[in-house]
Structure 1
Amino acid sequence: MVKILLMAFPLALLCCSGPMTGGQKTMLNDNYATALSFFEAGSFDSTLVYLDKCLELDRDFAQANYLLGKIYLQKDGIYNRRLSALSLKEAVKADRGNPEYHYSLGLTLEKQTFYLNALDEYREAARFDSTDPRPFVGISRLYERMGLRYDDDKYFQRSLEASARAAILSDDPAQFYRQAAALYQMGKYDSSSKVLSLAIAKAESAIISASCWLLLGAVQVLERRFDSAHFCFERGREQMSELSRDEMDDMSYLMTAEQYKAYLNEGPIAQGRTARFFWGQIDPDPTTQINERRLEHYARFVHAQATFSLPEKKIDGWKTKRGELYIRYGAPSEQEFSLGVGPSDPPRWTWTYDRFGAQPTIFYFEDTFLNGDFNFPFPNSNWTADDFARDPSRLAYELGSAIPQDFAFSPGSGPLEFDYMPRQFKGHGGKTDLEIFVAIANNQLRFTRDGEYATAAVSWRQVLRYPSWQVADSATAIRTYSIRASQAENPDYSMSSRMKLTGLPDSLLFSISIRDTLSDHVGISTNGIRLRNFYSGQVEVSDIVLARRIDQPPGELSFRREQLSILSSLDNRYFVGEPIWLYFEIYNLELGPDGKTSYSIKQVISEKRTRNLLGAFKDAVTGKDLHEVTTTYEGGSVNTYENRVLRVDVSEFREGVYTLAIEIEDLLTGRIATTSEEIVIYR
């Protein structure tokens, strides 16, 4: 580009100030031609020799001053930038209508941090040549800088307008990205997404493409489109260097200092295990295939890079103090900018977080050296006891030790309450079946009414994970319920359903998420669970399923668990007049010489003794006896596995808390297995 622009001024048209002889003009042209050839060859020192000769002949020779300014600008450094500005000003003075001189002077002034002066030169360059995109790029860049410094939308709007003009002239994806960044900072996320899509379609550079995908991912997170955000971040990260990905994955801002130090002392394999477990622990919805907290971390990282970076000083935004706090805790509840009035009162940002205690937590960031890097203020001799008490560096350390990171996750438009009961059975191939029984009160769901009936539907996800955080099993379903419209808002009626998972016997983590498809209310629960091993070789009995009704397949003597219709009772409370239904399974029975099993089932319902002393005293005074009923069944078959449905009549029982126990005895081996549940009977 430099070569083309320089050759745009033919030597025959060179103008000299003052009367010059023909020989002087020839010498001037020859010296400039030689300087230009050395410049294009990259020999700056030789170029300077011949430019000096040109300026000895004509101090106002614009082209020589321009080329001299370009050389000093490329040599860089504070002194060279000053020399560059002086030379370029001479070039502008000699030829005020030359857009290239104004643009180059703008670049130099921008490097000198004289931003308003640089802005004036870019405007002049654009005024003299409205077809050159470069001045508009410079204008956009400076207004973006002002917008980020003052968090002022009017500057972002001006940056947007200039970058839009540059994009029209150049079709450069980088200018589309700059438009999208301005829209993002103004909170116009939908428009930002559209422009980013255009930039991605045009981008050939991996750096620009990655930047676009990452910013698009951050926008998707803000709009709570986590699946789309996951896709965008993955596409962006594919085009990043390994070092950049590692920086994005860095967990130093999410752990306490002690936790992170311990993590760094681990080997690579242990670090990978620790990282998986850490991210799993803070995943707000483990039932999804994505980790919303990790996506939020990526979005905060991208925001910090886009908002707090100082490229000219090679300062990454995520490494600044503002970047650290933003990545840890997200956007502050309030933020305020103060320009300051002198060296003792530099420009300052004040961030307030109001969710970490009864009193707001306030952080100050000062641009102490007036270079755009807002840091925690440095203690000095003028600090009072109150200043030390409010020292943001100390507050950040204390908060980071107590609350390393914070994320408020809202999976839906409101909460959904439900009850669930896990029940374990013998599976196949050494695994254990985990049946999850769920009950949702009618008043928790939104129904659509059609005459006498009402319908509701829920989206149900559940997942079982091993200690390594690897998925053992997962399941999803849409369940639809139809009831009488008069019962739609009755909290005493519930929707009942169940779904199965399987896993190897171990200590696992179970997570469940249920979303009402109409109201978008969501309930999420995560708990540890120990899967039993039913492959012991001993007689075993499954967990008991207590229900208000169990329907078996009609006309079939043998059936599978999946064929049963079970209206479960998760609170184990029964009205004295209603029967209690039980389902359980028996495993590992011994086959006798005749190829058959022989076993007995003892069912015991015993009233629990009153726990408090006053109740026990009353029972003793009134002579109240504890109620207990025992029922025994015998059975046998050609299978080592049996399943049973029992119906228990409690109409003669009084109110109270009871233990319902099942004892299985293998009559061939004498081996016994037991299980029990607590029930409540009321009138």
Structure 2
Amino acid sequence: FAQQALYSDPLSHPAYVKLFRYAAEREQIERMDSLATRLQKAIPESPYGWLMMGYVNAARREFESAESNFQIAMERSAPSTRRAYIDATSLIKQDVAGNAGIDSLIYSQNYWIRQDPLHLTSANERRIEHFARHTYADMMFADHYEDWPGWATDRGKFFIRYGPPDHIQREIRREDEPSFYDDRMAELTGDRRYLTQRIVRKGAAKTEFRFEYWLYDKTIWYFYDSWWTDTYILYSPPSRAFELGPIIDDEIEAHNWAFREPFRSAVTIPGAQLPLTYVASRFRREGFDGTFEESDTMDVVVARGVPVPYRPRSGSVNSPVRIGAFLTGFRNGMVARTVEEFQNREAADITEIDNTLFWRHVKTLSAPANDSYQLSVEYQTLPKEAIWGVQRENIEPLEPTSDSPGMSDLLLATTIDDAVPGLSIPLRMFKRYDLEIVPAPDSLFEIGAPLYVYFEAYDMSPDPTGLSSFSIETVLVSSVKKTGIAAFLEKLDWKNNDAAVSVLFDAEGPGSTVPYYILLDTDNLETGDYTIAIRITDKQTGRTMSRARTISLRR
């Protein structure tokens, strides 16, 4: 009938919807493609044809085309529909959503940026997956009796969160038969009294009830339709079930499951994934004048190691690669983005870490100091993007404190020298405060190899001559168990006689911001994991600040 209606009226939107649903149920992607193309031409102002084509593109893993079609669909959708598609608050734990403290749409837009599995690609594959699920749910699970869109129904919410179930089973049961729930409770408890229960629902219009259960791994979710209107809802046992003891309420269990596991994604990036290594270190922006403002910025120095197939004796490796580093704020969105392509990689920039060759490259990203960030470090081989890698971590800003001097992270380096004016520097090196620094892309060092530790002290109190005087305590202790850096510093005994290294000395520097570095002697140390901690004390005020970093020593 829908096909005949479409021939009679090529602008019949309901006919398109029914035909799309018929094709989607049977996974007839080619037919959906033809229908979407036809609808786009017949009613170009309707978002539905663009949504359907985006769904088709996503099913074919044509992510760039899907991104384009979904974008057009959002532009042509009503504001309420557009917000429903973009809103991500239902996909995150409620304690996180409630404490976001910003508009849900802004939070969601930034959330989707952070969820992008690889920023180096032109499409956001995770958001495309979400839009495709949303489109399918709206098409397949709409409740026309209650006038609910598909994404607002119980089945639609599950599908958007977790994707298609591993298995779906449908069954019709009479009102004088036990329900699926009663079968399950009898099996779990061994109490066959559950099998004497009945499905009767107050106000039910039929003597038969439609049940549907969805299987995800080993978890089963039950839905029922007592009115035969396609109004399937999560099955909640009647009050009589309490008489037999403990019950399982799918509505409650679904809420708990969503809190533990907000969503599942099946997105995969084509090609082989190989690990890369990196170390990120936070600093206040160079030239900081000591007056902190909300609009001020911090610098994040990213020292990375990208896999390389071999190391030549001289010259370079002809191994094209695209590399990127990205900072995405929870409030500010993506504030820093750097993407570069290299045809050749110089032999001098290649190092070996734990029997793997890495090409070293350092980049500094700047971001406002009023937000928390996700740092993403990525690479792709070129031209076919057959190999890729990504590493991510959360970055908190270096906030000023009123009761102590400020301090940067401890940056691990293999070389630090005075900068030579006018000379260019290699990609493995960066300049800061008249120093040329080669940061380590990993925390693994060979015993006896140079191990520099660079840091900056902030908010110092210069004397009348402009000099800031402070003491530096350095402790290197064996890491017996994994603990957070903050917990480690809180419990650290700075006078620990068992420390592998323990040094106390005085230092000074001009101004309220003082860059400094030390060289650790590791010749007599044993193989193992260590934590290095440095505490500075301002001699003018007696205020202290400390930072720590974990390292591994190998022979």
Separation of aligned partners in 2, 1:674 and 1:395: 51
| TM-score where L is the length of structure 2 | 0.65
Separation of aligned partners in 2, 1:509 and 1:275: 18
Separation of aligned partners in 2, 1:400 and 1:577: 55
Which protein has the bigger strand share? 2
Separation of aligned partners in 1, 2:479 and 2:70: 59
SS of match in other structure, 1:187 = coil
**Contact kept in structure 1, 2:143 and 2:150, CA below 8 Å:** yes
**Which string of whole-angstrom CA distances, capped at 9 and with x for unpartnered residues, describes residues 14-59 of structure 1?**
xxxxxxxxxxxxxxxxxxxxxxxxxxxxxxxxxxxxxxxxxxxxxx
Query: Which residue of 2 is the match for residue 435 of structure 1?
Result: 300
**Contact kept in structure 1, 2:326 and 2:337, CA below 8 Å:** yes
Query: Which residue of 1 is the match for residue 394 of structure 2?
Result: 527
**Which string of whole-angstrom CA distances, capped at 9 and with x for unpartnered residues, describes residues 411-450 of structure 1?**
52465544443322221674242324344473xx778999
Query: Which residue of 2 is the match for residue 501 of structure 1?
Result: 365
How do 1:454-465 residues align onto structure 2 when only pairs under 5 Å count?
455=319, 457-465=321-329
How do 1:213-362 residues align onto structure 2 when only pairs under 5 Å count?
213-223=50-60, 228-245=65-82, 254=91, 273-274=103-104, 276-277=106-107, 284-285=115-116, 296-309=129-142, 311=144, 314=147, 316-338=149-171, 346=208, 348=210, 350-355=212-217, 359-362=218-221
**Contact kept in structure 1, 2:462 and 2:468, CA below 8 Å:** no
Q: Does 1:192 align with 2:32?
A: yes
Query: Which residue of 1 is the match for residue 284 of structure 2?
Result: 426
Q: 1:474 aligns with which of 332, 336, 355?
A: 336
For the structure 1 residues 385 and 493, does the alpha-carbon distance in structure 2 shift closer, same or farther, using more than 3 Å as the test? farther
Equivalent position amino acid for 1:527 in 2: N
Separation of aligned partners in 2, 1:319 and 1:654: 60
**Which string of whole-angstrom CA distances, capped at 9 and with x for unpartnered residues, describes residues 343-369 of structure 1?**
9795746433233xxx33142545x55
Query: Which residue of 1 is the match for residue 449 of structure 2?
Result: 578
**Contact kept in structure 2, 1:334 and 1:352, CA below 8 Å:** yes
Equivalent position amino acid for 1:336 in 2: Q
Separation of aligned partners in 1, 2:10 and 2:244: 55
**Contact kept in structure 1, 2:345 and 2:359, CA below 8 Å:** no
SS of match in other structure, 1:577 = coil
Separation of aligned partners in 1, 2:146 and 2:404: 72
* 1:333 Cα deviation after fit: 0.8
Separation of aligned partners in 1, 2:240 and 2:507: 88
**Contact kept in structure 1, 2:89 and 2:104, CA below 8 Å:** no
* 1:211 Cα deviation after fit: 1.2
SS of match in other structure, 2:319 = strand
Equivalent position amino acid for 1:433 in 2: M
**Contact kept in structure 2, 1:459 and 1:514, CA below 8 Å:** yes
Separation of aligned partners in 1, 2:400 and 2:127: 34
How do 1:284-683 residues align onto structure 2 when only pairs under 5 Å count?
284-285=115-116, 296-309=129-142, 311=144, 314=147, 316-338=149-171, 346=208, 348=210, 350-355=212-217, 359-366=218-225, 368-374=226-232, 394-403=249-258, 405-413=262-270, 416-427=274-285, 430=292, 431-440=296-305, 442=307, 453=317, 455=319, 457-466=321-330, 469-471=331-333, 473-478=335-340, 480=342, 482=345, 491-506=355-370, 508-517=372-381, 518-533=385-400, 541-550=407-416, 553-554=419-420, 560-561=431-432, 564=436, 566-568=438-440, 570-571=442-443, 573-585=444-456, 597-598=466-467, 605-608=474-477, 628-629=502-503, 643=515, 647-651=519-523, 657=530, 659=532, 661=534, 663=536, 675-677=546-548, 683=555
Backbone CA RMSD of aligned residues: 5.4
- Using CA pairs under 8 Å that are at least 6 residues apart, name the structure with larger relative contact order, 1 or 2: 2
For the structure 1 residues 324 and 375, does the alpha-carbon distance in structure 2 shift closer, same or farther, using more than 3 Å as the test? same
Aligned residues: 482
Separation of aligned partners in 2, 1:566 and 1:528: 22
How do 1:26-37 residues align onto structure 2 when only pairs under 5 Å count?
none
Equivalent position amino acid for 1:542 in 2: S
Equivalent position amino acid for 1:497 in 2: H
**Contact kept in structure 1, 2:475 and 2:503, CA below 8 Å:** yes
**Which string of whole-angstrom CA distances, capped at 9 and with x for unpartnered residues, describes residues 186-239 of structure 1?**
4354663465244323325x4xx1211222333344455566545434432443
* 1:463 Cα deviation after fit: 1.5
Which protein has the bigger helix share? 1
Separation of aligned partners in 2, 1:557 and 1:590: 34
Question: 5+ residue gaps in structure 2?
Answer: 178-206, 425-429, 482-496
Separation of aligned partners in 1, 2:475 and 2:245: 68
For the structure 1 residues 538 and 603, does the alpha-carbon distance in structure 2 shift closer, same or farther, using more than 3 Å as the test? closer
Equivalent position amino acid for 2:215 in 1: Y
Separation of aligned partners in 1, 2:500 and 2:521: 18
For the structure 1 residues 682 and 533, does the alpha-carbon distance in structure 2 shift closer, same or farther, using more than 3 Å as the test? same
Separation of aligned partners in 1, 2:263 and 2:531: 44
**Contact kept in structure 2, 1:601 and 1:664, CA below 8 Å:** yes
SS of match in other structure, 2:115 = coil
For the pair shown, the structure with the greater C-alpha radius of gyration is 1
Q: Does 1:211 align with 2:75?
A: no
SS of match in other structure, 2:54 = helix
How do 1:10-25 residues align onto structure 2 when only pairs under 5 Å count?
none
**Which string of whole-angstrom CA distances, capped at 9 and with x for unpartnered residues, describes residues 122-150 of structure 1?**
xxxxxxxxxxxxx8424xxxxxxxxxxxx
**Which string of whole-angstrom CA distances, capped at 9 and with x for unpartnered residues, describes residues 146-195 of structure 1?**
xxxxxxxxxxxxxxxxx5xx2xx865485777666655444354663465
For the structure 1 residues 446 and 327, does the alpha-carbon distance in structure 2 shift closer, same or farther, using more than 3 Å as the test? farther
**Which string of whole-angstrom CA distances, capped at 9 and with x for unpartnered residues, describes residues 490-511 of structure 1?**
7444343333333344461333
* 1:334 Cα deviation after fit: 0.8
* 1:489 Cα deviation after fit: 10
**Which string of whole-angstrom CA distances, capped at 9 and with x for unpartnered residues, describes residues 588-614 of structure 1?**
677887xx74456766554548979xx
| TM-score where L is the length of structure 1 | 0.55
Separation of aligned partners in 1, 2:232 and 2:297: 57
Separation of aligned partners in 1, 2:463 and 2:78: 68
Separation of aligned partners in 1, 2:163 and 2:60: 15
Separation of aligned partners in 1, 2:508 and 2:541: 14
For the structure 1 residues 190 and 551, does the alpha-carbon distance in structure 2 shift closer, same or farther, using more than 3 Å as the test? farther
Separation of aligned partners in 1, 2:49 and 2:408: 54
Separation of aligned partners in 2, 1:397 and 1:512: 36
Separation of aligned partners in 2, 1:528 and 1:324: 32
For the structure 1 residues 300 and 446, does the alpha-carbon distance in structure 2 shift closer, same or farther, using more than 3 Å as the test? farther
Separation of aligned partners in 2, 1:252 and 1:560: 42
Separation of aligned partners in 2, 1:182 and 1:230: 24
For the structure 1 residues 384 and 336, does the alpha-carbon distance in structure 2 shift closer, same or farther, using more than 3 Å as the test? farther
For the structure 1 residues 556 and 332, does the alpha-carbon distance in structure 2 shift closer, same or farther, using more than 3 Å as the test? same
